[in-house]
Each structure stands twice: as C-alpha cells, then as structure tokens.
Amino acid sequence: MNYITAKTIISAYMKENTWFGNNYNMNIYKGCSHGCIYCDSRSECYQVENFDEVRAKENSINIIKKELKSKRRKGVIGTGSMSDPYNPCEKNFQLTRSALKLIDEYEFGVSIATKSDLIFRDIDILKKIKKHSPVLVKITITTSNDELCKKIEPNVSLTSKRFEVLNELSKNDIFCGVLLMPVLPFIEDSEENIFNIIKMAHENGVKFIYPSFGVTLRQNQRLWFFNKLDQIFPRLKNKYIRQFGNSYECYSPNAEKLWNLFQFECKKYGILYKMKEIIEAYKKGYENEQLSLF
C-alpha cells in the first residue's frame, strides 16, 4: 500500500446537500482498481493521477478522529464518491472500518456508496450507528447479468453477490438501495435489464433505486471508455460517436420508455425512487428526536 499526504479528510459542513442528504464527504482512499469501463472519476477535472492504483491517505484515522471531535454540527458523512471505501486493500487495512467506529463513537450518521460485498463485514458497526444516527447504503448495480457485469465491471463483486449483500443489509434493518447508474446505451438500456434489476431489488428487500438512463463522457474518461468498447464490443464506438458526438450527457435513445417502465415497476413494489423521498425515509425519526444532533 502506498500512502499520500492529506491535511484534511472530512469536508466542511453542507446544510442543504441534495445528493442523498450528505452533510459531509469523506474519502480515505484515492484511485480505484475496479476497472469499470464507464468510470467518471477518470475525468481530468478530478486530477487523480495513476487512477488505477489505490492509495490511502497517510495518518487518516488520526486525522478523522481529530476532525470529528472538532465538528460543531452533527450530520451524515458520505463516503464512496471518488474511490470505493471497500476496495480490495480495505480487507487487510480496515481503514473504512476504523473510520466507521469513530463515526459511531462521535455519533454521526453515514451514507456509503460501494460496489463491493466487503461491506457485509461492517454490518455490526452500521447497526450501532443506526441506534443514534441515520445510515444509508447505496450499492451500484447497472446490469442484472453476471456475465455482462464481468465485462463492464471486471474487478468488482458480481451483480448476484451485490444483491446478496443488499439482502443481508435489509435483514439487519439497514436502509439500503441501488444506484442504477450509469445505464449504458446500446449495452444495458433494454427493458428486460431494467425490469430484472427492479424485480431482484424487490426480492432482496431494497428500499430504493435511484436511476440514470445514460452515461456521462468527458475528456480522458471518453478515451478510456472508447478503448474498452473497441476491446469488448467491436464497432459499438462508432455508434456512440454517430449518436452522441462529443456530448457530455449521453442519454439512452430508450430513456423515456425505460423511465415509464421504471416508475410503474417501482410503484408496484413500493420502491422509492425520488431523491427527496429517499432522504426523508432514511432520516425519519432522527431529526425530530435528536434536534441537538441534526
């Protein structure tokens, strides 16, 4: 494991954050080894050199402890926005687990985004945090097919494994759901794929699904994506170029049809899909009862 220096790890307080109601952001690791063909974090604007190498922020746990201790406002700490907190290195180094213990100790909430089944290891701590503060787990799933998953997300837990984790989280009363994004045009944007994901989500106790029926492409992220398309789906790159040109937002031509199907199926199963409703649901019972914290 290589380390990088960091003066701070937890961001400043954000009062009205519309992205899952996070009040703080925390990234202990930098870089990612998942190898997903669509990753937006490869974009030049994020300035992450040697992106495929996972590095940890030096002295991270001591920094986090100091920052949590000094925060004047409690709130929900989001993690997983730039680097998966459950990358393979976490299994041995347990930096995310140590940070969760501190989040529990100082009575903050947590909102986690991951593609790894390693989060199952930390259900015990999540249950402790839930006793005093909101807990939200978002697991990215873009295809219902394990074989396709291996192609577009080569180094992460298979879709079936991720649904097994969602099932365990749900059984342990952890508020959890699916980040259905990106849905890659011409690869994942079929009604069958969306229908299957929603059905599997329902069968595994998922509370919410938050979708985006397309993909964003910019700068060197686009080059990476196109190179992978050439390797895995020959001639598909030209279809992207004809359809989207240099557009940043590449929405599926089927987006409207998929959205209508998505809403119908989510309503049928009682699955939340609007951001405001998701935030209200997982924070319910905390803000009113613990005004001193939130």
pLDDT at 1 over 80: no
Kindly tell me the sign of the dihedral angle through the C-alpha atoms of 139, 144, 149, 153: negative
pLDDT at 254 over 80: yes
| pLDDT at residue 136, rounded to an integer | 98
| pLDDT at residue 139, rounded to an integer | 98
| pLDDT at residue 274, rounded to an integer | 97
pLDDT digits (tens, 9 = 90+) for 228-249: 999 999 999 999 999 999 999 9
* CB-based contact 1:58 (threshold 8 Å): no
For tokens 């291996």, the residue is 150
Annotated domain spans of the chain: 2-283
pLDDT digits (tens, 9 = 90+) for 29-46: 998 899 999 988 777 666
Residue closest to 115 by CA, chosen among 90, 167, 151, 80: 80
How many other β-carbons are positioned within 10 Å of the β-carbon of residue 80? 25
| pLDDT at residue 290, rounded to an integer | 46
Total residue length of the chain: 294
- Give me the chain's average pLDDT, please: 93
Q: How far apart are CA 14 and CA 51, in angstroms?
A: 27
| pLDDT at residue 227, rounded to an integer | 95
pLDDT at 289 over 70: no
| pLDDT at residue 82, rounded to an integer | 81
67 Cα distance to chain centroid:
24
pLDDT at 293 over 50: no
Run of H or E residues at 264: helix 255-269
CA distances (Å), 68 to each of 9, 49, 99, in order? 10, 28, 10
| pLDDT at residue 17, rounded to an integer | 77
* CB-based contact 130:100 (threshold 8 Å): no
For tokens 């009363």, the residue is 173
* CB-based contact 158:226 (threshold 8 Å): no
Q: Indicate the pairing of strand 214-216 with strand 249-251.
A: antiparallel
145 Cα distance to chain centroid:
19
| pLDDT at residue 43, rounded to an integer | 73
pLDDT digits (tens, 9 = 90+) for 164-176: 999 999 999 999 9
Q: How far apart are CA 219 and CA 294, in angstroms?
A: 39
Identify the band that residue 288 occupies on the pLDDT scale cut at 50, 70 and 90: low
| Fold of the CATH domain 2-283 | TIM Barrel (3.20.20)
Q: How far apart are CA 46 and CA 131, in angstroms?
A: 35
Identify the band that residue 15 occupies on the pLDDT scale cut at 50, 70 and 90: confident
pLDDT at 157 over 60: yes
pLDDT at 135 over 50: yes
pLDDT digits (tens, 9 = 90+) for 71-121: 999 999 999 988 999 999 999 999 999 999 999 999 999 999 999 999 999
What lies within 8 Å, CB to CB, of 89 at 6+ separation is: 1, 29, 54, 56
Beta strands in 86-151, from DSSP E residues, in sequence order: 109-114, 135-140
- Which amino acid makes up residue 34? H
